[in-house]
Amino acid sequence: MPGRDKSSGGGRSEEDRRRDLAAREQARLTGKRPPPSFGPSTRAGRERAASSGKPAPAPRDPMPPRGPVPEGLDFDFAQPTTRAAGGPTAPAASEAPSQASGAADGPSGGSGGTATLPAPSQHGTATPTPAPAGQRPPRAPRARPSAKARARATKPAVAGAGLAGKLRAKRAGLLAVVVGVCVLIAFIALAAGGGEAPTTPAAAAKVERGPSPYGEPTDTPLPPDTRVVAYTGAPQAKELGILGTMPFERASDRLDRQAKPYERKSRPVLRAFDLIATIANADPGPGGKYRSRQTSKVIARYLRAARRHDAALILDVQPGTSNFVDEVKPLERWLKEPDVHLALDPEWRMRPGVQPGSEIGWVSAGEVTATLNRVARIVRANDLPPKLVLVHRFTDGMIKDLETVDVPKEIVGVISIDGVGTRTQKIQTYDRIAATLPKPWLPGFKVFYEEDAAAGGILYGSQVMAMRPRPHVVLYE
C-alpha cells in the first residue's frame, strides 16, 4: 500500500514515521500514554516545514472526537493503539494475543506477513525495523499459557469437585441406610407392643426411677382401700409420743400387735410411723418462730426404718408462730417419695408472739387450701400416687371454715379427731365432729397412752372399731 505524498506540506517523512513508531512502542512497553506524532501538525513538524520553505498547516486539536478517523490524521486518542499511516485499525484486545503468537511462531525470514521485532538503540530506546508498506508495525508477543499448563491449572479443581461429589453421594447413601434401619426398628417395636404407641422420653423419665438411697418404697394404698394405724413421736423426748421411746424393731413389733384389732379381710391395715418433723417449742429459738425442725439425717433414718418394716412415713408439722405453707417447703424433698405423707397440727399453730401451749391454736381455711395445693403440685410434678394429709382437730373452731376448703384429687384428706379425756368424752367428741365433716374429708381418731390412761382409761381397738363411722386412720401417741 503506497504511503502519503511527502512532497506536500501535509506529508510525513520516513524519519518522522520511524520516530513515531519508536516512541509509541516505548510508551506501550512502559505503560505510558503515547506522544503525539512528529507529522506537520506538531511543533517539530511545523518547524521542519518552515525551514524547507513549505507552508505549515494549522495546529490540530490534540483530542479529536470519537468516531471514524478523519483523513489526514495519524493518531486517534480515543483508541490506545498505533497504526500505520492510512493503514487499518489495530485488532481488538481479545484478538491481539493470538495474532502476536502467530507472528512469533511464524518463519523468521521471508516476506509472508511477518514483522521483525525492534532492536534496542544506543540510548536504551527500542528502534523498530521498518515493516513493509501496507503492514502494521510489530508488537511485542504476549505470554499465553499452553494447553498443558491450562490442564494442570484446572485439574485440582476438577479433582476436588469429583471428590466432593463422591463424599456427598456416600453421605446420602449412609443416611438412607440409617433411616431404613430406624423405620425397621420402629415397625418391629410397634408390632411387638400390640399396636401401642411407644412411651415418650418424658413419660419414661417419670415412670422409671432409679434406686432410692433409703431402701425400697413401701406400697401404700390409702383409705378408703386401707385403714392406717400409726405410732407417733419424735426422738427428742418421750412426751412427744411412743415412737421415739424405743428402738425401731421393738416399736415395729408393738405396732403389729396394736394393729391386729383393725385388720379386716376386706380392708387391710397400712402401718405407719408418724414422725413429728416440726416441733413446737416453749422458747422462741434463734428464728423467733417457737419451733424447731428435724434434721435431714433424722428424717432419713426414720424413712429407712419405715421401709425396712414395711410401713409408711408421715411427717407431722407443729408450726409454732410460723405457718404450714412455709414449714412444708423444707419437707418437699421427702414428700417426693411415694410413701411419705403429711400431717398438720393446728393446735400448735400460734398467733405471732404467742407461746405454744398458752392457748389452743387454730388455722384458716385459706392456709389449709394453700398447703394442700402445694402438696398436690408435688404429686403431679413427680407422677406420684395420692398423698395422705392429716389435719388434727378436737375443737369446733380449730379449723376455720373447713367446708370452704377444696381438697385436690391428689390428696386424701383426713380429720384426725384428737383430745384427751375419759372414754365417754373421747367418743362424744368423735361423734360430734365426724358427723359434721364435709366431703371428701374422712374421719380419724387418736389415742394417748399416758394421758388417756391417767384420765380414765384407754379405748381398746374393738371399742374404736365400734364407733360410727369407723375411723380411717388411728394414731397412737
Number of structural domains found in the chain = 2
Question: Which residues, 6 or more positions from 320, have their beta carbon under 8 angstroms from its beta carbon?
Answer: 278, 280, 281, 289, 290, 291, 348, 349, 350, 356
Tell me the pLDDT tens digit for each residue of 189-241: 555 544 433 333 333 344 456 688 999 999 999 999 999 999 999 999 999 99
User: Rounded to whole angstroms, how far apart are CA atoms 35 and 25?
Assistant: 10
Q: Which residues pair with 267 in a beta bridge?
A: 264
Choose among 349, 252, 342: nearest CA to 304.
252
Helices marked H in 405-469 — which ranges? Answer: 423-434, 449-455, 461-465
Rg of the chain over all Cα atoms, to the nearest angstrom: 56
Judge whether 168 lies within some domain: no
Judge whether 434 lies within some domain: yes
Domain hosting 77: range is 1-91
User: Rounded to whole angstroms, how far apart are CA atoms 83 and 73?
Assistant: 11
Tell me the pLDDT tens digit for each residue of 4-32: 444 444 455 677 777 777 777 777 777 66
User: Rounded to whole angstroms, how far apart are CA atoms 417 and 246?
Assistant: 26
Last residue of a domain, one of 36, 59, 91: 91
Tell me the pLDDT tens digit for each residue of 380-415: 999 999 999 999 999 999 999 999 999 999 999 999
Sign of the C-alpha dihedral computed for residues 37, 40, 45 and 48 taken in this order: positive
Q: Give me the pLDDT at residue 297, please.
A: 97
Last residue of a domain, one of 91, 110, 143: 91
Q: Give me the pLDDT at residue 214, please.
A: 95
Q: Give me the pLDDT at residue 17, please.
A: 73
Q: Which residues pair with 445 in a beta bridge?
A: 417, 474
Judge whether 149 lies within some domain: no
C-alpha cell read off for 62: 490534540
Q: Give me the pLDDT at residue 176, please.
A: 72
Q: Which residues of the chain have pLDDT under 50?
A: 1-10, 41, 56-137, 141-142, 154-161, 193-207
Judge whether 234 lies within some domain: yes
Judge whether 315 lies within some domain: yes
Cα angle: 222, vertex 223, 224; to 5 degrees: 135
Of the chain, the percentage scoring pLDDT greater than 70 comes to 61
Judge whether 172 lies within some domain: no
In 3-state terms the chain splits into helix, strand, coil percentages (rounded to 5) of: 40, 15, 50
Beta 126-127 vs 119-120: how paired, if at all? Answer: antiparallel
Identify the DSSP state of 36.
Answer: P
User: Rounded to whole angstroms, how far apart are CA atoms 116 and 137?
Assistant: 9
Last residue of a domain, one of 91, 106, 124: 91
Phi and psi at residue 290, to the nearest 5°? 55, 40
User: Rounded to whole angstroms, how far apart are CA atoms 342 and 165?
Assistant: 67
Judge whether 205 lies within some domain: no
Judge whether 185 lies within some domain: no
User: Rounded to whole angstroms, how far apart are CA atoms 422 and 420?
Assistant: 7
- The CATH code of the domain that includes 344 is 3.20.20
